[in-house]
Chains A and B, each alone.
Chain A
Amino acid sequence: MLYVVIVYLWAAILLYLLLGGADFGAGIIELFTSGANKKRTQKTMYKAIGPVWEANHMWLIITIVILFVGFPSIYSTMSVYLHIPLAIMLLGIIARGTAFTFRHYDAVVDDMQVVYSRIFVYSSFITPLFLGIIAGSAVSGQIDTHANTFLSAFIFSWLHLFSVSVGLFTVAICGFLAAVYLIGETDNKTDRNRYINKALIMNIAAVICGGLVFVAAYADEVPLTDWIFGNAAGITAICAATLSLLLLWYLLYKGKTRILRILAGFQVTMILLTTTFRHFPNIVILKNGGYLSLLEHRGYDKTINMLGMALLLGSIFILPALFYLIYSFQKKVESKEA
Chain B
Amino acid sequence: MNDFIAARSQMALSLGFHIVFSCIGMVMPFFMAVAHYYWLKTHNVVYRNITKAWSKGVAIFFATGAVSGTVLSFELGLLWPTFMKHAGPIFGMPFSLEGTAFFIEAIALGFFLYGWNRFNPWFHWVTGLIVGISGLLSGILVVAANGWMNSPSGFDFVNGQYINVDPVKAMFNDAWFSQALHMCIAAFVSTGFAVAGIHALMILKGRNVAFHKKAFKIAAVFSAVFAVLQPISGDISAKDVSQRQPAKLAAMEAHFHTDKNVPLIIGGIPDVKNQKVDYAVKIPGLLSYMTKGDVNAEVKGLDSIPVEDHPPVAITHYAFQVMVGLGMLMLLIAVLYLIAILKKKDWLERKWLLKLFVTATPMGFIAVEAGWAVTEVGRQPWIIQGIMRTADAVTPMPGIHYSFYIFTAVYISLAIVVTFMLYRQIKMVGKLYDIPSGSDQLKV
B-contacting residues of A (Cβ < 8 Å)? 50-52, 54-55, 57-58, 60-62, 64-66, 68-70, 72-73, 75-80, 83, 86-87, 90-91, 93-95, 97-98, 100-102, 105-108, 150, 153-154, 299-300, 302-303, 306-307, 310-311, 313-314, 317-318, 321-322, 325, 328-329, 332
Contacts and interface: CB of A to CB of B under 8 A. Distances in A.
A72 B60 contact: no
Contacts of B428: 107-108
Given A68-B77, A107-B428, A73 B85 contact: yes
A314 B403 CA distance: 35
B95 A306 contact: no
B165 interface: yes
A297 to B, nearest CB: 10
Nearest to A107: B428
A98 B77 contact: no
B261 interface: no
A70 B89 contact: yes
A263 B135 CA distance: 37
Interface stretch (B66-74, B184-192, B217-225): B66-74
B67 A97 contact: yes
Nearest to A104: B59
Given A70-B89, A108-B428, A325-B111, A94 B71 contact: yes
A310 B100 contact: yes
Interface in B76-101: 76-78, 81-82, 84-86, 88-90, 92-93, 95-100
Interface string B116-138: 00110000000000000000000
B46 interface: no
Contact of A98 (B64, B93, B95, B110): B64
B73 A318 contact: no
Contact of B73 (A61, A87, A94, A107): A61
Given A75-B77, A108-B424, A55 B107 contact: yes
A322 B107 CA distance: 6
A97 to B, nearest CB: 4
Contacts of B98: 65
Contacts of B398: 150
Given A83-B397, A303-B90, A329 B70 contact: no
A62 B114 contact: no
Given A64-B73, A90-B71, A69 B114 contact: no
A306 B63 contact: no
A329 B114 contact: yes
B89 A80 contact: no
Contact of B110 (A52, A91, A107, A332): A52
B406 interface: yes
Nearest to B75: A90
B167 interface: yes
Nearest to B71: A90
A58 B88 contact: no
Nearest to B406: A91
B110 A55 contact: yes
A113 to B, nearest CB: 12
Nearest to A79: B77
A60 B99 CA distance: 10
B344 to A, nearest CB: 37
Given A107-B425, A318-B104, 5 more contacts: A68-B76, A75-B88, A91-B406, A306-B167, A325-B107
A107 B424 contact: yes
Nearest to A56: B106
B75 to A, nearest CB: 8
Interface pairs A-B: 7 shortest CB-CB = A69-B92, A299-B89, A79-B77, A314-B100, A101-B63, A76-B81, A54-B106
Interface of B: 56, 59-60, 62-64, 66-71, 73-78, 81-82, 84-86, 88-90, 92-93, 95-100, 102-104, 106-111, 113-114, 118-119, 165-168, 395-399, 403, 406, 410, 414, 417, 421, 424-425, 427-428, 432
A184 to B, nearest CB: 18
A73 B85 CA distance: 5
Nearest to B114: A51
A79 B78 contact: yes
Interface of A is mostly: helix
Contact of B60 (A86, A105, A310): A105
Contacts, number: 198
B410 A80 contact: no
Contact of A86 (B74, B100, B396): B74
Given A64-B74, A80-B81, A93-B67, A332 B118 contact: yes
27 contacts: A51-B113, A54-B107, A60-B70, A61-B70, A65-B92, A70-B92, A72-B86, A72-B89, A75-B84, A75-B88, A80-B395, A83-B397, A90-B75, A91-B406, A91-B410, A102-B60, A300-B89, A300-B165, A302-B165, A302-B166, A303-B92, A307-B96, A310-B97, A310-B99, A313-B100, A314-B100, A317-B103
A298 B207 CA distance: 60
B104 A321 contact: yes
A54 B70 contact: no
Given A51-B114, A97-B63, A154-B397, A310 B410 contact: no
A102 B421 contact: yes
A59 to B, nearest CB: 10
A321 B109 CA distance: 12
Given A68-B76, A80-B396, A328-B118, A98 B417 contact: yes
A83 B88 contact: no
A72 B399 CA distance: 24
Contacts of A108: 424, 427-428
Contacts of A329: 114
Nearest to B63: A101
A142 B316 CA distance: 44
Contact of B421 (A58, A105, A153, A154): A105
A15 to B, nearest CB: 12
Nearest to A100: B63
Contacts of B165: 300, 302-303
Contacts of A321: 104, 107-108
A58 B71 contact: no
Given A83-B78, A154-B397, A310-B97, A68 B67 contact: no
A310 B141 CA distance: 13
Contacts of A97: 63-64, 66-67
Contacts of A313: 100
Contact of B99 (A54, A61, A100, A153): A61
Contacts of B100: 310, 313-314, 317-318
B93 A306 contact: yes
Given A79-B74, A300-B165, A314 B86 contact: no
B88 A72 contact: yes
